[in-house]
Structure formats: structure tokens, C-alpha cells
Amino acid sequence: MKDKLIITCAISGAEVTKEHNPCVPYTVKEMVEAAYQAYLSGASIIHLHARYDDGKPTQNKDRYAEIYKAIKSKCPELIVQVSTGGAVGMTRDERSDVLNIKPEMATLDCGTLNFGGDEIFINTENDIIYFATKMNELNVMYEMECFEKGHIDTTLRLIKKGIIKGHLHYSFVLGVNGGMTGETRDFLFLKDSIPSGATYSVAGIGKYEFSLAEQSIIHGGHVRVGLEDNIYIEKGVLAKSNSELVEKVVSLAKKYNREIATPSEARQILGMGDN
């Protein structure tokens, strides 16, 4: 029997702007409303990148704390997953600052990746060890973001060394320039490469968002959508909100008789307990 479906909504990201889609949230108020509406539509996890009011991305712990607390005040049940990826070019110390607010959950990027042009998203093995160790010390649940098969192999080595531990939860981020594409074969390859008993979510970038969501639903995995990953509800039609993207996943889930997990149920599935 498949677990209930955990839907993560990546509401803002660090790169997408209002010029791409005017619904991308920047301010605290916009972030809170986007998170709340996504929750009402079926999301149990909010993937959070902090932005200043002008849209500039930041890993500053005070800005994160302001947004984090505001979301939790509006919707205490939600799991708020902070990003330690930050934006391209940020240092390890900049990116890890957010962990000082002791969030419930955070992302752990598991390898370096070309991001198109001259941009390189750097995650050395020592970076990964540094972030995982700090999350272990602070009792922060991590979601291992893997953009290709080599990233999974890195996690397997670190699991054997006892650096990555606890319940193993992966996020396959597919369709990024420089990473694996988001074809069904790519998804299946990654799904079949993780340890038995691990859980996974799939984030399809751009045109791959809903085709991969459907594959993950079919195979018992979980799904991430949101304006960070894709600004369209269908080809050429801008999404009106993050919640509209969540609603489309809920419709897909109904097609395959997958029930939607509440935040409390998501915590149980991920071995987090309930807060």
C-alpha cells in the first residue's frame, strides 16, 4: 500500500523573479499568504528561500527567522523546510547561517552542478559533510537534493561512514541545465538507486514538473511543485499562484487514488514525529 502523498511547495526560490511571474513572493506578507494558500490546497511542506522586499535572495538568519515565524504563526501545522542551497556564489558560512534558527527541516545539496553559462553550484564533499554534521547536531531533518546519479552515490558513501543518518529522504531535482533531464527513464534510474526503506520526492523543473509529478504519484513517491521550479500551469500559461500548481498535483493524485498527507501525516512518513 502506498503512503499518502506528501506535497512540497517551493514558493519563491532564489532566482525566479516577478518579471518571470508577478506572483513570485518577496515580502514577508507575500510569503505567508503563498504558504498559507498552498497549505489550504494540499501542501504539507513549504520549501523556503528568503528574499528581501526587493527580491534579492539572502541566507541571513534574521530574515529567515522573520519569515519562518510568520508562516508558523499563520499555520502552525506546516512543515517549513529551509534551503541551505542559497544562491549561486554564496559561501558555505553564508548558506549555513539559516540553520542557526534551528528549523524543523532543511535541504542538503549532495553534489556540484553546472547551472548553465558560467554559473556553477558548488557542493564539495567537505561542504556536504559540513552541512550534514551541523544538521545532525541541531536535530534538523534533512532532505537530500540530488540532481544526478553521482549525487546519490555520494550519499551512499556518507551513509556508510555514519555522516548521513536517520531516516533517508531524497529529493530528485530533474530538468536543471547541467543536471539530468526529466524523462521517465531518468526518474526510474534514480528511484531504483536509493536504499531500501528510503523515501523520495521529485521536483521537475519547467516542462517536466507535472509529468514527473505523475510518475512519482504512480510509483509511490512524493512531489514538489512551486514557482521556484516552474512558472506555468500549462504550456504558455502563467500560473496564477503557487496554490494553483499544488491543486493540479492534487487532481493528479485523485486520478491514481493517492490520498494527500496532512503535515502531521507527513512527519510520520518521514520519521520526524509530530511537533
Please write the tens of the pLDDT for every residue from 117-172: 898 999 999 999 999 999 999 999 999 999 999 999 999 999 999 999 999 999 99
Please write the tens of the pLDDT for every residue from 44-74: 999 999 999 999 999 999 999 999 999 999 9
Please write the tens of the pLDDT for every residue from 14-39: 999 999 999 999 999 999 999 999 99
Whole-angstrom distance, CA of residue 89 vs CA of residue 15: 12
- Asked if residue 220 lies in contact with residue 200, where contact means CB atoms within 8 angstroms, the answer is no
Mean pLDDT over 230-259 rounds to 98
pLDDT band at 267 (very low <50, low <70, confident <90, very high): very high
Closest CA to 48 of 92, 77, 83: 83
Which set of grid coordinates corresponds to residue 43?
501542501
Residue 232's DSSP bridge partners are 238
Residue 237's DSSP bridge partners are 234
Predicted pLDDT of residue 223: 98
Domains of the chain as residue ranges with CATH: 7-269 (3.20.20.70)
Is a pLDDT exceeding 70 seen at residue 275? no
Residues 154-175 as b or e (16 or more Cβ within 10 Å = b): bbeebeeeebbeeebbbbbbbb
Is a pLDDT exceeding 60 seen at residue 274? no
Whole-angstrom distance, CA of residue 113 vs CA of residue 126: 15
Whole-angstrom distance, CA of residue 128 vs CA of residue 124: 6
- Asked if residue 212 lies in contact with residue 176, where contact means CB atoms within 8 angstroms, the answer is no
Please write the tens of the pLDDT for every residue from 223-236: 999 999 999 999 99
Predicted TM-score (pTM) of this structure: 0.96
Please write the tens of the pLDDT for every residue from 71-94: 999 999 999 999 998 878 888 998
